[in-house]
Amino acid sequence: MSASRTSITFIVLTLLTAVVGGWVGVNYGLRQARVPQQLDQLLHSGLHLSTAQDEQLATLEADFATKRATFEGEMRAANRDIARAITVRHQYDEDAQAAIERLHRAMIGLQKATVQHVIAMRALLSTDQVEQFDRTVDQALAVTPP
């Protein structure tokens, strides 16, 4: 009786930890994805870009969209593997650990790609446009999402 209670408690705690970890990971990834969206909106509506800047921005956005989709796909795949470890194998094993590490690598990759994208967008701007852009970046990263 005691061994089964311990096993059930361990399974419940593992499930709870995985759910919380997955939720945190997904929300973190979504927060990182929001920053370029806010900046893209500012660029398109508030900074009066030249035609050349618009064309360069379109290229940057297409490249980033591809990278983001790749990282988000990897995060979804890793989360599916984590769920399988919990719901099918009922254990924290090497496969679960590898899936968690894959999830973290994808999240880090998305964050790096996002920062690189923001810096590349900033490089397109004139001196006058940079100040408003920097304020928007500061506000977007300093505010906790709802």
Residue 138: name the closest of 68, 64, 57, 38 by CA: 38
In total, how many domains does the chain have? 1
Find the mean pLDDT for residues 62-72: 95
Looking at every residue in the chain, the average pLDDT score rounds to 81
pLDDT band, residue 127 (cuts 50/70/90): very high
Distances (CA, A) of 26 to 53, 68, 90, 103: 32, 13, 22, 10
In terms of DSSP H, where are the helices of the chain? Answer: 2-45, 51-84, 94-123, 127-142
Cβ 14 vs Cβ 88: under 8 Å: no
93 lies in which domain range? 2-142
The enclosing domain of 138 has a CATH number of: 1.20.120.1490
Residue predicted with more confidence, 33 or 127: 127
* Cα 130 from chain centroid (whole Å): 25
Distances (CA, A) of 9 to 14, 45, 68, 105: 8, 54, 37, 30
Find the mean pLDDT for residues 83-97: 88
Model pLDDT, residue 26 = 54
Has this prediction a pTM greater than 0.85? no
Tokens of 74: 């990897």
